[in-house]
Structure 1
Amino acid sequence: MPEVIFTGPAGRIEGRYQPPKKRNARIAVILHPHPQFGGTMNNQIVYRLFYLFAERGFAVLRFNFRGVGRSQGEFDHGQGELSDAAAALDWVQSFNPDSRACWIAGFSFGSWIGMQLLMRRPEVEGFISIAPQPNLYDFSFLAPCPSSGLIVNGSADRVATPNDVQTLVEKLKTQKGIVVEQNVLEGANHFFDKQVDPLMDVVGGYVDRRLAEAEAKAEV
């Protein structure tokens, strides 16, 4: 898991990168929670997502948004952070020009940034959105949502209530050809305290199923 430094719109960006096992492997970019509330690339859920994708052969990058850790710049209320995420994806793609597709996985604030990124990048084939906050952030840009993916939230989340997330999911489910699945972890709060293992089981199962479906289609 080598430490990497690459150039972003606001200067240096600090990250951790896991090279893929095969040349044409998929890419995964992992996005951390809110920088002003302690969110970093070393958040436990971000860290676990990183290894979840690495174990499945992806080329994986997690990084610190501007102003976090050794990344230069200052918090930019989402706009700059979206530019950071786009630069991060560009950086991984420069090392993996034969990559077939990309996944975006984000937690909390990172899920909002990730959903915006997938709207701008047609190569994104799947997303993982953990504890999105449609009550705090505007998700109306998802019209329509271009990729299928998974939304996971906790039934005891008081930051983004289950009703708020359910409204977002129902909106996304109305689009033809796109399958947005939802999993509500019973008893889990916004940070999935003592529920990270079940969370990773849900995400891992979803990714494995999507990869198996893609392989089956490729063989037809």
Structure 2
Amino acid sequence: MPSVIFPGPEGRLEGRFSPPRRPRAPVAMILHPHPHGGGTMNERITQHLYKTFVDRGFATLRFNFRGVGRSQGSFDNGIGELSDAASALDWVQSIHPESQTTWVAGVSFGALIGMQLLMRRPEIRGFISVSAPASMYDFTFLAPCPASGIFIHGAQDTVVPPASVTKLVEKLRQQKHITIHHDEIPRANHFFENEMEDLGRSIDNYLNFRLDPSCPIR
């Protein structure tokens, strides 16, 4: 999993990149939780998502937002971080231009940035949002949501009440031409401290479904 440095809007960005195993392999970009809460690309759910996509042969990148680790710049309340994510995707596409499909997966704050990026990049065809901060940020920008995906949340999350994610999912499910899955993990808190196995199973089950050649969602 080689360390990489690539240009961002405010200077260099630090990441870990796993090249694809085959030509035309899809891209996956993994976005970490809020920097002010200790979020980095080495946070364990972020690492788990990274490894999951690497194991499935994706060209996979996780990186530190500005001001985190060796990434230059300073926290910008989500605005600059969205620009970082766009630059990161540009960089992956520059070295793997034959890919036609991209997935984005984010944890907490990273889920917010991932969904915002989804609205701006039509090549993103799937998403995984873990602990999406639906009670903290306005997700009405998903109008309409352009791709299918899954929201995974802990039933015992005291940071973001599960009901706020359920409400968001119900709203998105009213839209046509996409399919939104929702998996609420019993006993899990915001960071799945004791329920990583269940989280991993949820992620794998969804990817098995979406990546099956017979899957109707594309």
Per the TM superposition, whether the score is higher than 0.5 is: yes
Per mean C-alpha deviation after superposition, the further-off stretch among 90-99 and 59-68 is 90-99
Aligned counterpart, 1:150? 150
Distance of 2:30 and 2:5 partners within structure 1: 16
Kindly provide the amino acid, as one letter, of the partner of residue 100 in structure 1: Q
The Cα of 1:41 is off from its aligned counterpart by 0.1
Shift >2 Å, 4+ stretches: 215-218
Q: Does 1:9 align with 2:9?
A: yes
Aligned counterpart, 1:42? 42
- Aligned positions of 1:141-220 closer than 5 A: 141-212=141-212, 215-216=213-214
The Cα of 1:217 is off from its aligned counterpart by 6.8
Distance of 1:182 and 1:85 partners within structure 2: 24
The Cα of 1:201 is off from its aligned counterpart by 1.0
- Partner of 1:68: helix, strand, or coil? coil
Kindly provide the amino acid, as one letter, of the partner of residue 70 in structure 2: R
Distance of 1:147 and 1:191 partners within structure 2: 25
Q: Which runs of 5+ in 1 are unaligned?
A: none
Can you list the C-alpha shifts for 1:170-190, whole angstroms capped at 9, x where unaligned? 111001110010000001000
Q: Does 1:140 align with 2:136?
A: no
Contact 2:28 2:105 in 1 (8 A): yes
RMSD (CA atoms): 1.0
Can you list the C-alpha shifts for 1:65-88, whole angstroms capped at 9, x where unaligned? 000000000000000000000000
Distance of 1:210 and 1:170 partners within structure 2: 20
Distance of 1:196 and 1:104 partners within structure 2: 20
- Aligned positions of 1:97-116 closer than 5 A: 97-116=97-116
- Aligned positions of 1:81-100 closer than 5 A: 81-100=81-100
Distance of 1:64 and 1:85 partners within structure 2: 10
Can you list the C-alpha shifts for 1:119-161, whole angstroms capped at 9, x where unaligned? 0000000000000111111111000000000000010001110
Distance of 2:196 and 2:215 partners within structure 1: 32
Kindly provide the amino acid, as one letter, of the partner of residue 216 in structure 1: S
- Partner of 2:29: helix, strand, or coil? strand
Aligned counterpart, 1:31? 31
Distance of 1:3 and 1:158 partners within structure 2: 35
Can you list the C-alpha shifts for 1:155-213, whole angstroms capped at 9, x where unaligned? 0001110111111111110011100100000010001011112101111110121011x
Distance of 1:217 and 1:126 partners within structure 2: 13
The Cα of 1:23 is off from its aligned counterpart by 1.1
Identity %: 56
| CA 52–217 in structure 1, closer or farther in 2 if over 3 Å, else same | closer
Contact 2:209 2:215 in 1 (8 A): no
Contact 2:185 2:199 in 1 (8 A): yes
Distance of 1:89 and 1:205 partners within structure 2: 25
When normalised by structure 1's length, the TM-score is 0.96
Query: How many residues are matched?
Result: 216
Q: Which runs of 5+ in 2 are unaligned?
A: none
Kindly provide the amino acid, as one letter, of the partner of residue 148 in structure 1: S
When normalised by structure 2's length, the TM-score is 0.97
